[in-house]
Amino acid sequence: MSSETLGRSPGVASPRGPAGAGSRKRPVVQRVFGKNPLGALLSTPYLIFLAVVFAYPLVFAFYMSLHDYFFSAPGAVVDRPFIGIDNYVAALTDPQVLQSFRNVGVFLIINVPLTVILAIVLATALNRVVHFRAFLRVSFYVPYVTASVAVVAVWLFMFSGNGLINNVIGPLAPDPSWLINPTLAMPTIALYVTWKQLGFFILLYLAALQNVPNELYESASTDGAGPIRSFFSVTVPGVRPATALVLMLATITGANLFTEPYLLTGGGGPNGASSSPVFVMYQEGLQQGKPGFAAAIGVVLVIIVLTIALLENRFAGGKEE
Amino acid sequence: MSAQRRVPGQLSRGQAILRGVVLGLGALVFLFPFYYMVIGSLQRFPDTSLGGIFPNPANITGANYVAINERINLFSGLINSGIFAGGVVLGTVLFGMVTGYALAVLKWRGRGATFALALLVQTIPFQLLMIPLYVMIARDYGLGDTHLGMILPYLINSTAVVIFRQYFLQIPKELFDAARIDGASELRVLWQVAIPLVRPALVTVILITFIGPWNEFLWPFLITKEASLQPLAVSLANYISTIAASTTNPFGAMLAGAVVLAAPVVLLFIYFQRFFVSTDIGSGVKG
């Protein structure tokens, strides 16, 4: 608290007399909320929003996962007994759930490294381009800004059994085709998501590239390094904080997979080969009416994802300055 | 070109060509599906051969757009998507901008914690909150099948809050101090000095805030059962997953719907692309 605030503390303000009660209030407000109480006031709607939409549901999800929770008529008083870790045991022994976790593992192993490599290469190439800059930027970002539901339609068209892709590669076409092939369904989804999200990660890398000091390229060049060499010894280490961020965000996005298995492979098909934990949460929690079971899957999923993200952050050295 | 005269980062001829090829290939891979979406939506009979890539006058029709409009009401879908996205944009601009201002300019207790929260919530997977939010909003508050229930979880975009803060930070402090010395109240400083100066940020924020809810599928899908209230992304997805198989040219109608869903955002994005600045959006995620 600054000296100015102290100077206006109630004891000093009192000699001002008549204003009395009114002028004494302000310092109290300032003592509680800091120098500019208006800041707290302006942020109140946002803080309430965070409490209602994030904090409370987060606690609620955890509560649900530990109880025999079921849907009831609004306002009805029902007994939802505490059942400890039963939901977790049920979830982690359910073959359908375990398969969905394995599927998302396959997804992440393909999607995350591919995203990082392609994004960093394309961002570097795009960074110093002079001609067609606006055109290239727009074309790289367009899949990211478009609704997944819309682009899923064209991917279904291209990757269907009789589709363009199979017609182009002819005898190399997989049988059964991409999205109905148990081995290829998940990798195809991983490719789709990489393509769809890449623009956003290129954008993050472009922002990071602006912070790599030009002198580093100059000295690398003086030392006789060519563009390829300076890419690996200047660019890649220079955008390390961005790489940490991209790894984390790509992992979180990947673990949230729902729309693509729901639409591209008709609900995680064939035979659950492309189902995702979130898809199982939807099926079990809302369709089958077992929200406690679904919440337990959610808690396990988040713990796994955050652990992976922290490990990635550690190995990529995400500390900024 | 000799090594000494070379500007750092400048490429040799071969490398420049390589870079051009990489970028051109990238652009082709990103754009082709969109081109193919439009072509496919105009085909009377789906032509998936290599030749089908090119428009064939004998096979062009607008019938797919009529067909999809008979199955799902495109107009009401667009209106619902617009209300959903518009509500989120309004909430974000109203509440997010003043929060960004408070975080950047004013000193108050809890400022650091609020900023940390704005960054932290961006890493919380929505899907963990999906079930409790559904129980709260649809069952406890009775907001299922309402626009408000759709908007509520997205009302204030945290990325936008951080971007607003970033913009307010860039305004020289002297401008605020001058206004204060002239006797302007803090609210007046916000309204007459700060907000007019961050107008360029508004376009960026509106753009990134708009595309989220416009494209969102999972949440409105959970919360709306009534077809007349569904945003276009939801009704098109329902068409793809259930009705498509029973129609004569399922791909044509599907792609026509996809074009209608994609077009507003793609056109907005192309028109305003210079406001889609990498450094602003980068700072919105990492602070």
Q: What is the pLDDT of residues B144-190, one digit of tens each?
A: 999 999 999 999 999 999 989 988 988 888 888 888 888 888 888 88
Q: Tell whether B2 is covered by a domain.
A: no
Say if residue B280 is in the same domain as residue B150: yes
Per-residue pLDDT tens digits for A4-20: 343 334 433 444 444 44
Say if residue B165 is in the same domain as residue B246: yes
The answer on pLDDT for A95 being more than 90 is yes
In this predicted structure, which of B10-24, B91-105, B222-236 has the lowest mean pLDDT?
Answer: B10-24
pLDDT given at position A104: 93
Say whether residue A161 is in contact with chain B using an 8 A CB cutoff.
Answer: no
Q: Both tokens of residue B189?
A: 């400083």
Per-residue pLDDT tens digits for B241-272: 887 666 667 888 999 999 999 999 999 999 98
- Calculate Rg over the CA atoms of chain B: 24
Q: Both tokens of residue A221?
A: 């060049």
pLDDT given at position A11: 39
* Total tally of structural domains belonging to chain B: 2
Say if residue B139 is in the same domain as residue B255: yes
For B149, name the nearest residue in chain A, comparing CA atoms only: A53
Which positions in chain B touch A264 (Cβ < 8 Å)?
A: none
Contact: B261, A149; criterion CB under 8 Å: yes
For A145, name the nearest residue in chain B, comparing CA atoms only: B211
- Residues A68, B47: Cα–Cα separation, whole Å: 53
Say whether residue A51 is in contact with chain B using an 8 A CB cutoff.
Answer: no
Q: Tell whether B245 is covered by a domain.
A: yes
**Interface pTM, i.e. ipTM:** 0.88
Region A140-146 average pLDDT: 92
Say if residue B83 is in the same domain as residue B209: yes
The phi, psi pair for B60, rounded to 5°, reads -90, 140
pLDDT given at position B224: 93
Contact: B262, A151; criterion CB under 8 Å: yes
- Residues B234, A294: Cα–Cα separation, whole Å: 22
- Residues A159, B109: Cα–Cα separation, whole Å: 55
pLDDT given at position B246: 64
- Residues A39, A46: Cα–Cα separation, whole Å: 12
Q: Both tokens of residue A278?
A: 């979130």
Contact: A38, B133; criterion CB under 8 Å: no
Which positions in chain B touch A156 (Cβ < 8 Å)?
A: 240, 251, 254
For B114, name the nearest residue in chain A, comparing CA atoms only: A47
pLDDT given at position A8: 38
For B27, name the nearest residue in chain A, comparing CA atoms only: A139
Give which of B84, B94, B128, B141 to mutate to test A binding, by max A Cβ within 10 Å. B128
Helix orientation angle between B158-170 and B199-215, rounded to the nearest 10 degrees: 170
Which positions in chain B touch A56 (Cβ < 8 Å)?
A: 132, 136
Contact: A146, B15; criterion CB under 8 Å: no
Single-letter amino acid, residue A41: L
User: Which residues does A297 contact at the CB level (< 8 Å), separation at least 6?
Assistant: A91, A97, A277, A280, A281, A284
Q: Tell whether B1 is covered by a domain.
A: no
For residue A115, count other CB atoms closer than 10 A to its CB.
26
For residue A278, count other CB atoms closer than 10 A to its CB.
28
Name B60's bridge partners.
B43
For B126, name the nearest residue in chain A, comparing CA atoms only: A256
Say if residue B50 is in the same domain as residue B122: no
Q: Tell whether B231 is covered by a domain.
A: yes
For A245, name the nearest residue in chain B, comparing CA atoms only: B286
- Residues A49, A211: Cα–Cα separation, whole Å: 34
Say if residue B46 is in the same domain as residue B152: no
Query: How close does chain A come to B122, measured CA to CA in Å?
Result: 9
Say if residue B125 is in the same domain as residue B185: yes
In this predicted structure, which of A10-19, A225-234, B192-201, B236-245 has the lowest mean pLDDT?
Answer: A10-19
Say if residue B232 is in the same domain as residue B96: yes
Residue A157 parent element (H or E): helix A148-159
The phi, psi pair for B109, rounded to 5°, reads -70, 130
User: A305-309 long-range CB contacts below 8 Å, 24 or more apart?
Assistant: A305/A251, A305/A252, A305/A255, A305/B125, A306/B123, A308/A108, A308/A251, A309/A247, A309/A248, A309/A251, A309/A252, A309/B123
Say if residue B123 is in the same domain as residue B255: yes
Contact: A49, B285; criterion CB under 8 Å: no
What is the pLDDT confidence band of residue B1, given thresholds at 50, 70 and 90?
A: very low
**Nearest CB to B27 within list A36, A136, A150:** A136
Which positions in chain B touch A281 (Cβ < 8 Å)?
A: 127, 130-131
The interface residues of chain A toward chain B in range 82-111, judged by CB-CB distance below 8 A, are none
Contact B157, A87 (CB under 8 A): no
Region B276-286 average pLDDT: 72
The answer on pLDDT for B7 being more than 70 is no
DSSP label at B12? P
Contact: A150, B211; criterion CB under 8 Å: no
For A72, name the nearest residue in chain B, comparing CA atoms only: B139
DSSP, collapsed to helix, strand or coil, labels residue B176 as helix
**Nearest CB to A217 within list B8, B52, B278:** B8
**Nearest CB to B127 within list A134, A147, A281:** A281
Say if residue B140 is in the same domain as residue B174: yes
Residue B41: domain span: 13-61
Contact: A207, B270; criterion CB under 8 Å: no
Contact: A43, B142; criterion CB under 8 Å: no
Q: Over pLDDT 70: what percentage of chain A?
A: 89
Contact B83, B147 (CB under 8 A): yes
pLDDT given at position A128: 80
Name B43's bridge partners.
B60
CA torsion, ordered B63, A157, B38, B65, to nearest 10 deg = 20
Region A103-118 average pLDDT: 95
Averaged pLDDT score across all residues of chain A: 84
pLDDT: is A98 or A32 the higher one? A98
Contact B71, B244 (CB under 8 A): no
Q: Tell whether B3 is covered by a domain.
A: no
Say if residue B25 is in the same domain as residue B123: no
Query: How close does chain B come to A183, measured CA to CA in Å?
Result: 22
Greatest mean pLDDT range, A285-299, B56-70, B147-161, B231-245 = B147-161
CATH of the domain at B163: 1.10.3720.10
Which positions in chain B touch A248 (Cβ < 8 Å)?
A: 123
Contact: B153, A53; criterion CB under 8 Å: yes
Q: Tell whether B5 is covered by a domain.
A: no
- Residues A191, A201: Cα–Cα separation, whole Å: 15
Element counts in chain B: helices (H) and strands (E): 16, 0
Say if residue B77 is in the same domain as residue B163: yes
Name A67's bridge partners.
A82
Averaged pLDDT score across all residues of chain B: 87
Query: How close does chain A come to B143, measured CA to CA in Å?
Result: 12
Query: How close does chain B come to A193, measured CA to CA in Å?
Result: 12
Contact A52, B200 (CB under 8 A): no
